[in-house]
Structure 1
């Protein structure tokens, strides 16, 4: 069984509100990543900030499992722990909430690269994409919990103890030539560009 996890625990301070609920093309931003995960995985888990369950449930519907982060100060690592703890799959493929052009074949490939190892993370432009990843749930959950207890908050640091496959950029470009799966919406300008892309059907 494969679980899809979407992390939405961060505030979109440059977006004027809860980032995952910002409207793009008439839909909450997070709904695009969730829709991709619904195609790829057997179940979808969304990790959100404390107190945000109702808002996300209203936006996404009852079919999606919504879980709240326990320690907001821990950042994305806490969201990852929260999602892995709630997941039922042996492996969990992960994405952030703000990648509206995330491709199903990219997620499927990341999950396949992870098989037989602790996980897989793409490396784009020489740097890892720490929130586009897949992990062997049970082992990695324990490793991330231990890292958090030791005061580690950076994902790249938490990943160092794991047996990961680092997926090269050329492998990702073979599926997504413009690497649009990794394009995050961080500003109002990014949101407008995404709106234009949707209007022009350039995806």
Structure 2
């Protein structure tokens, strides 16, 4: 299984490219590459920028402006196998959390993280077998990840409080400030 970092978004709420923001001395995307490399031999970046750090390579979007679903579609088409995805704005996803997902996965189903009532569709496993359904959903203009997960009978992997900070999505300047506090507390 290959790991895919989803980095094709507009970063509109942040106002700048999130993946390239510096947190604790390195870019957000480098944090994720480092964490994924403990578990996966091959890590690709799904997005349309070419200035990202070295990974296995950049997977360009097949169709642009389709959000995470477009990135997952492009990655599945490129890899031709099941993939593990993680968003570029989640630098605290650890190898422990990733291993936990891999151990609890249900074969041939989408497996994503859930914490309490919140679903994290951009952290988990997408099987190659969903590619045709994903294409049709995108072509029909339905880009809501949660709707697609329901349609596909996704398997939700529940995590307890000890993993909560690992699921921080850095979407806004306020989220970034929270991430800086987490990094500072780890360095103490």
TM-score, normalised by the number of residues in structure 2: 0.88
Distance 2:114 2:103 in 1: 16
Do 1:113 and 1:119's aligned partners in 2 also have CA atoms closer than 8 Å? Answer: no
2:137 to 144, 147, 161: 147
Superposition deviation, residue 178 in structure 1: 4.3
Mark the runs of 5 or more structure 2 residues left unpaired by the alignment. none
Task: Check 1:153–1:25 CA distance in 2 against 1; reply closer, same or farther (3 A cut).
Answer: same
Superposition deviation, residue 125 in structure 1: 2.3
Distance 1:68 1:98 in 2: 18
| DSSP 3-state at the match of 2:65 | helix
Do 2:110 and 2:149's aligned partners in 1 also have CA atoms closer than 8 Å? Answer: no
Say if 2:26 is the partner of 1:27: yes
2:95 to 99, 104, 107: 104
Do 1:93 and 1:110's aligned partners in 2 also have CA atoms closer than 8 Å? Answer: no
Distance 1:143 1:65 in 2: 26
Superposition deviation, residue 202 in structure 1: 6.2
Partner of 1:157: 147
Partner of 1:113: 104
Distance 1:149 1:71 in 2: 10
Partner of 2:84: 93
The total of aligned residue pairs comes to: 188
Distance 1:133 1:70 in 2: 21
**CA RMSD of superposed structures (Å):** 2.1
Superposition deviation, residue 6 in structure 1: 0.8
Distance 1:93 1:99 in 2: 14
Distance 2:185 2:7 in 1: 27
Q: Runs ≥4 in structure 1, deviation > 6 angstroms?
A: none
Partner of 1:65: 57
Distance 2:42 2:32 in 1: 13
| DSSP 3-state at the match of 2:84 | strand
Superposition deviation, residue 144 in structure 1: 0.8
